[in-house]
Amino acid sequence: MVLLDPDLVGSAIASAPAEFTITPRSAERTVTVGGRSVVMVGVGGPPHTMDLDRGRRTGNLEDFEHFVRLTQHYDVIHTNNPAVEPQDIPVPVRHLEVTKAQLLLTDKVPFAFARGRGQVTDCMEMARIAHGMTWDEFTAAPHVHTVINTNSPRQIDVPMCLGLIQFAELNQVCVVTPFTLSGAMAPVTLAGALTLQHAEAMAAITLTQLVRPGAPVVYGAFTSNVDMRSGAPAFGTPEAVKAALASGQLARFLGLPWRSSGVNTSNAPDAQAGYETMTNMMGAVLGGANVVIHAAGWLESGLSASLEKMVLDVEMLQIIAEVFQPVAAGEEDIALEAILGVPPGGHFFGADHTMARYDTAFYEPIVFSRQNFGQWTEAGSLDAAQRANAVWKRVVADFEAPPIDTALRDELEEFVARRAAEGGAPPES
């Protein structure tokens, strides 16, 4: 049991940056964390994949790579995340394969699990190679991110502690996220769960700043509640929305970037999934989250990554992004002349004002249908999940990996081959 001096915690937190950037191998994919920016991140961590064709199955590398391709394809997903655990790859070399997939199939910021020093060192080395940098150049700025979960209540386990230390040493990004489910690992009252979350977050953040003052770190909040009938976690709940809004205030009180989530409890990509995800997103984006993890593809309380849900969530994220675009209100937008030019009871379809703007006036959905009932019925009465199934398959089929310098690619593949031949690196615990 470590008891931390309040002054130490205060000065440590004061040394953490309020805002920083993470730069992947393509500079135009750089994300800003903090301030007025929102970084949307797909689902991370589930053991299973779901899709409509094959149902629920143990995560494998092929599925993992599908999620990586979708991450690269959609601009509204800003960084990589470990969508599903590829359990067909042996543990000591799994980190090599998932890092390689991220670095070669995308040019967005990669994620590395903190599962002990050996694995983290390999992942960092691979990111360094993909950047074509020396170690000094690489550690001069953030390029890789991870999530550090506490073992609530009041516990940080060995790999998580090692991760906090190593990522801070290397100037890479820890998203510190207490796992404070109200009623289970945290008090049944929201104020109590938030108190515990705040204490755990401050403790973990303090450790990063003791290692390296100024190390990039994010205040993560995951407080939701359990279902008191079953003890099972529940997501997209009203309690989680309130916890999110409060967490944003707590993070801003500390002057740190804030991470929230877009999650739900549903076992299928159905109406419940839509309502709950959007409910949770309301807490996240209107609470001012700087990073929203699990914003696309999360299903079954995080036990499954769904390929259809990934596409449906991308639609939601694009809609949210549009909502945050300002409304133009110049003289031509107010359109007094256009209004006077259409007679009472007439229409604006053919008006010059419309013709000059119709092409870009409104958001066009990628999977939400605007067919009328007759057209929709003739097209097979496909629900949103069924249409999303066709969308992700098309994206995967048409996918082209972003270019990478051949020498860097070769160096990366040689590194993976060599480390695999050496037996990789076991996780530490």
What residues numbered 8-67 form the site for a second copy, per CB under 8 A?
Answer: 56
Q: Which is nearer to a second copy, 18 or 232 (CB)?
A: 232
Give the number of other Cβ atoms within 10 Å of residue 373's Cβ. Answer: 8
**334 near a second copy, rule: CB under 8 A:** yes
Q: Do the beta carbons of residue 68 and residue 321 sit within 8 Å?
A: no
Look up residue 275 and give its amino acid. Answer: Y
Binding to a second copy (CB under 8 A): which residues in 126-155?
A: 151, 153-155
Q: Which is nearer to a second copy, 91 or 282 (CB)?
A: 282
- For the bound state, the minimum distance from the C-beta of residue 320 to a second copy, rounded and expressed in Å, comes to 8
Which residues are 233's β-sheet partners?
Answer: 226
- For the bound state, the minimum distance from the C-beta of residue 232 to a second copy, rounded and expressed in Å, comes to 6
Part of the chain binding a second copy (CB under 8 A), chosen from 9-17, 115-123, 188-196, 394-402: 188-196
Q: Which is nearer to a second copy, 299 or 416 (CB)?
A: 299
**158 near a second copy, rule: CB under 8 A:** no
Part of the chain binding a second copy (CB under 8 A), chosen from 39-47, 80-88, 290-298, 299-307: 299-307
- For the bound state, the minimum distance from the C-beta of residue 321 to a second copy, rounded and expressed in Å, comes to 8
Single out the residue of 131, 357, 393, 409 in contact with a second copy (rule: CB under 8 A): 357
Part of the chain binding a second copy (CB under 8 A), chosen from 77-85, 140-148, 159-167, 380-388: 380-388
**Three-state secondary structure along 30-72?**
CEEEECCCCEEECCCCCCEEEECCCEEEECCHHHHHHHHHHHH
Part of the chain binding a second copy (CB under 8 A), chosen from 202-210, 247-255, 271-279, 417-425: 271-279
Q: DSSP assignment of 71-96, as one string?
A: HHH-TT--B----S--TTS-HHHHHH
Write each residue from 198 to 217 as x if it is in contact with a second copy (CB under 8 A), else as -, in one continuous string: -x------------------
Q: Do the beta carbons of residue 113 and residue 146 sit within 8 Å?
A: yes
Binding to a second copy (CB under 8 A): which residues in 218-247?
A: 225-232, 234, 236-239, 241-242, 246
Dist. CA 338–CA 394, nearest whole Å? 41
3-state secondary structure of 139: coil
**378 near a second copy, rule: CB under 8 A:** no
Dist. CA 232–CA 217, nearest whole Å? 30
**3 near a second copy, rule: CB under 8 A:** no
Q: Which is nearer to a second copy, 363 or 399 (CB)?
A: 363
**252 near a second copy, rule: CB under 8 A:** no
Q: Which is nearer to a second copy, 220 or 233 (CB)?
A: 233
**266 near a second copy, rule: CB under 8 A:** yes
Single out the residue of 211, 376, 393, 428 in contact with a second copy (rule: CB under 8 A): 376
User: How many residues appear in the chain?
Assistant: 429
- For the bound state, the minimum distance from the C-beta of residue 248 to a second copy, rounded and expressed in Å, comes to 13
Number of H helices, E strands in the chain: 16, 15
Dist. CA 56–CA 42, nearest whole Å? 19
Rounded to 5°, angle at Cα 154 from 183 and 42? 70
For the chain, the farthest-separated pair of C-alpha atoms sits apart, in whole angstroms, at: 79
- What Rg value do the Cα atoms of the chain yield, rounded? 23
Give the number of other Cβ atoms within 10 Å of residue 404's Cβ. Answer: 17
**282 near a second copy, rule: CB under 8 A:** yes
